[in-house]
Amino acid sequence: MTDSIRELTILQPDDWHIHLRDGKALGTTVPHAADSFNRVICMPNLVPPVKTVDDARAYRERIMTHLQNSDISAERIAAFDPRMTLYLTDNTTPQDIEMAAKSGIVQAVKLYPAGATTNSADGVTDISACVDVFEALEKYDLPLLLHGEVTQDHVDIFDREKRFLDEVLAQIIIKFPTLKIVVEHITTSDAADFVLAQGNHIAATITPQHLMFNRNHLLVGGIKPHFYCLPILKRESHQKVLLDVATSGNPKFFLGTDSAPHATDKKEATCGCAGCYSASIALPLYATAFDSVGKIDKLEGFASRFGAQFYGLPVNQSTITLVNTPMQVPNAYPYFDGTSLTPLLAGETLPWSIKD
């Protein structure tokens, strides 16, 4: 632990990968996100997915309506800027990309290999058929966000990220050498090394769960459904490398929570959903992870600067203060239709908290 730093004021952070869901879920997820973050990149894997600029604009309006109807402060409402993504499908056209780039609200396009994670059935089935779309992304300087896993049934779930890097992403980079790419929620030393070996147009986001936990936390002593996410937690050796690169001050790595809400009864089920809900406690989680290796002073770059710089956006001017004062994570939050939402580390104590 870093004994010398008991209070840390940083520029207001952004979350470059978040799931807010839709409908009544927004009443819980949007205020939680807006409490800590100014800009958030909203994932498009809704039902139905966000495939067009019109879809994106309508989704953003629904988000803002729920925010304005919440009890969050006027200051936070004014600062909150949800940035949209389009869901890349086999039917996405270069014209869709052009419209997205000119929309002012679409920040990127998201590629889910079909079947890779929650609500990804409409994802891309043949990467080689996306040539025209990738060319348009290059032309309009619109980043491609990747869920970096292959999905063939015979590939071990712990190997799917590395196989994607070797068999898919390497080929995309060769064919489209100036395409800006974010490898989202990286989980392995292989992914960290891959991103480090590329130019500055290739970056990665890292979640709090992949910095703090490994597959032992998920599996030892019984399966822990609230640690189950995709890509799945890996070995401790991979976790340590992710901590190394996240706290290194290298601008290729920045904050993306991948906060993914599922009602508690859906998580704690015979076929539990993949995803960790962290939006409400994300900054204390990241502070705890960084402080665990004595690098709390590196948090501002990772959380507040590097993502904005990669996307060509100004850094935020407002600030938020973290204090080395323990907080207890709530056991659950009220969700919708009488359900509850269980956060990561529910009921446990974190050493860092946000100053009121």
Domain locations in the chain as residue ranges: 7-354
Name 300's Cβ contacts closer than 8 Å, sequence gap at least 6: 8, 10, 11
Asked whether 125 and 90 are in contact (CB, 8 A), the reply is yes
Whether 258 is a known active-site residue: answer: yes
Q: What is the dihedral of CA 174, 175, 177, 178, to 10 degrees?
A: -150
Output the pTM of the full model.
Answer: 0.96
Positions at the binding site for substrate: 19-21, 45, 147, 230, 262, 274
Instruction: Note down pLDDT in tens along the chain; length 356 residues.
Output: 445 689 999 999 999 999 999 999 999 999 999 999 999 999 999 999 999 999 999 999 999 999 999 999 999 999 999 999 999 998 999 999 999 999 999 999 999 887 666 655 667 778 888 999 999 999 999 999 999 999 889 999 999 999 999 999 999 999 999 999 999 999 999 999 999 999 999 999 999 999 999 999 999 999 999 999 999 999 999 999 999 999 999 999 999 999 999 999 999 999 889 999 999 999 999 999 999 999 999 999 999 999 999 999 999 999 999 999 999 999 999 999 999 999 999 999 999 999 98
CATH of domain 7-354: 3.20.20.140
| Nearest alpha carbon to residue 17 among 329, 278, 343, 285 | 278
The C-alpha angle with vertex 248 and arms to 257 and 258, in degrees rounded to 5, equals: 10
Q: Which of 258, 291, 337, 356 is catalytic?
A: 258
